[in-house]
Chain A
Amino acid sequence: MATMSRARPRRLVWRNTVAGWSFILPNFVGFAALTLVPVVALFYLAFTNWNVFGVADWTGTANFRRMWSDASFWTALRNTIYYAVFHIPLTLVASLGLALLLNRRLRGVAFFRTVAFFPYITSIVAIAVVWNQLFSPEYGPVNAFLRGLGVDNPPGWTTSAQWSMPAVILVGTWRYMGYYMLLFLAGLQTIPAQLYEAAQIDGAGPWQRFTHVTLPGLRHTTFFVTVMLTIESFKVFDLILVMTQGGPGQSTLVLSQYIYQKGFVENQFGYASAVSIVLFAVCFGVTAVQFLVNRRGER
Chain B
Amino acid sequence: MRRAIPAAISAATALALVLAGCGGEDEPTDPNAPVTITLAGWSLSTTPEFKTLADGFHAAHPNVTVELKEYDATNYDTQMTADLAAGTAPDVYVLKNLKNFYTYQSGGQLLELPDAAGGTAYEVDGKTYAVPYRQDSWVLFYNKDLFAKAKVNPPDGSWTWDDYATAAKALTTGLKGAGAKATGTYQHVFQSTVQGFALAQTPSADLLSGDFGYLKPYYQRSLDLQAAGAQPTFGTATTNKLTYQAQFGKQQSAMLLMGTWYIATLLKQRTSGDADKFEWGIAPAPQFDTSTTGTSATPVTFGDPTGLGVNPRASKAKQDAAKEFLRYVVGEDAGKALAGIGITPAQTSDAVTQTLFGLDGVPQDELSKFAYAKHDTKPENPVSKHTAGLQNLLNETHSAILSDSTPLDKAITDAQARAKNEVLNQ
Contact = CB atoms under 8 A, between A and B. Distances in A.
B233 A138 contact: yes
B238 A71 contact: no
A66 B426 contact: yes
Interface in A252-267: 253, 261, 264-267
A263 B57 CA distance: 37
B382 to A, nearest CB: 16
B403 A161 contact: yes
Contacts of B422: 70-72
A253 B393 CA distance: 12
Contact of A161 (B85, B108, B388, B406): B406
A251 interface: yes
B391 to A, nearest CB: 9
Contacts of B396: 246-247, 249-250, 253
A52 B81 contact: yes
A246 B406 CA distance: 15
A5 interface: no
Contact of B106 (A51, A133, A248): A51
Contact of B107 (A53, A157, A159, A265): A53
B397 A52 contact: no
Nearest to B234: A159
Interface in B219-243: 233-236, 238-241
Contacts of A138: 233, 235-236
A156 B236 CA distance: 10
B400 A161 contact: yes
Contact of A158 (B84, B100, B233, B239): B239
A133 B240 contact: yes
B43 to A, nearest CB: 18
Most B-side CB within 10 Å, residue of A156, A245, A267: A267
A51 B385 CA distance: 11
B421 A248 contact: no
Interface string A138-150: 1110000000000
A223 B292 CA distance: 68
B399 A267 contact: no
B120 interface: no
Contacts of A249: 396-397, 399-400, 403, 405-406, 411
Interface string A91-106: 0000000000000000
A133 B239 contact: yes
B107 A54 contact: yes
A136 B421 CA distance: 35
A61 B297 CA distance: 55
A129 interface: yes
Given A248-B400, A249-B399, A132 B418 contact: no
Contacts of A51: 103, 106-107
B239 A71 contact: no
A54 B109 CA distance: 10
B88 interface: no
Contact of B405 (A69, A72, A251): A251
A156 B397 contact: no
A54 to B, nearest CB: 6
B392 interface: yes
B78 interface: yes
Most A-side CB within 10 Å, residue of B84, B239, B392: B239
Contacts of B84: 53
Contacts of A136: 235-236, 239-240
Contacts of B393: 72
B389 interface: yes
A71 B418 contact: yes
Given A71-B418, A161-B405, A247 B109 contact: no
A140 B84 CA distance: 45
A196 B85 CA distance: 62
A144 B316 CA distance: 66
A51 B107 CA distance: 8
Contacts of A247: 396, 399-400, 403
Contacts of B405: 160-162, 248-249, 251
A266 B392 CA distance: 9
A237 interface: no
A54 B108 contact: yes
A135 interface: yes
Given A70-B422, A72-B418, A138-B233, A265 B388 contact: yes
A160 B100 CA distance: 31
A248 B411 CA distance: 12
Interface in B75-93: 78, 81, 84-85
Interface string B394-426: 001101100111100001000001100110001
26 contacts: A51-B103, A51-B106, A52-B81, A53-B85, A54-B107, A69-B421, A70-B421, A71-B418, A72-B418, A72-B422, A132-B238, A132-B239, A132-B240, A133-B241, A136-B235, A137-B236, A156-B404, A157-B239, A159-B238, A161-B405, A246-B396, A247-B396, A248-B400, A249-B411, A253-B396, A267-B388
Interface of A: 51-54, 66, 69-72, 129, 132-133, 135-140, 156-162, 245-251, 253, 261, 264-267
The 6 closest A-B pairs by CB, nearest first: A53-B107, A249-B400, A159-B235, A161-B405, A248-B403, A247-B399
Given A53-B85, A160-B404, A249-B406, 9 more contacts: A51-B107, A136-B235, A136-B240, A159-B234, A160-B403, A247-B399, A248-B405, A250-B400, A264-B78
